[in-house]
């Protein structure tokens, strides 16, 4: 039976080990459309620190790969580690969150993303 959500964390593994959480955002691919959005962002923002650049990259990757989804993630030394994603109604993702060990749940961020197609483009910003 197919689930309407994805669990990228295995509860059988030690939740304190970074590799237990599944997929790291940094490991997800950067297709041409996302690459263009990143370059547009860097152009609009101008000079930035590596920390700011990483933040913008992670935000756009989250928007692109998890468009119109709810995502559970934890921040690690390697960046955001995705634990689960599901419909934005939060019911399924909430069940995953409830099932996490308390130590992991306390480090978890819930992020509900808009549709990628509905994100503002530079042209939209200038029209406002």
Cα separation values, 115 from 28, 71, 119, 120, Å: 18, 13, 7, 10
- What gap in Å lies between CA 117 and CA 31, rounded to an integer? 15
Task: Give me the residue label for tokens 């995502």.
Answer: 71
What is the pTM for the complete model shown?
Answer: 0.71
pLDDT for position 35: 92
What is the CA 83 to chain-centroid distance, rounded? 10
Cα separation values, 29 from 24, 26, 55, 61, Å: 11, 8, 17, 9
pLDDT for position 39: 92
Residue 13's pLDDT band, with cuts at 50, 70 and 90, is: very low
């Amino acid at each position: 039976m197919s689930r309407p959500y994805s669990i990228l964390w295995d509860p059988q593994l030690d939740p304190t080990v970074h590799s237990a959480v599944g997929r790291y955002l940094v490991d997800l691919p950067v297709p041409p459309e996302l690459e263009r959005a990143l370059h547009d962002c860097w152009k609009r923002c101008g000079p930035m620190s590596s920390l700011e650049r990483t933040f913008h990259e992670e935000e756009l990757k989250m928007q692109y790969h998890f468009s119109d989804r709810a995502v559970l993630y934890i921040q690690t030394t390697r960046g955001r580690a995705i634990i689960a994603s599901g419909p934005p109604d939060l019911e399924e993702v909430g069940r995953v969150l409830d099932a996490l060990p308390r130590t992991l749940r306390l480090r978890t961020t819930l992020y509900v993303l808009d549709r990628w197609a509905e994100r503002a483009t530079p042209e939209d910003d200038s029209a406002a």
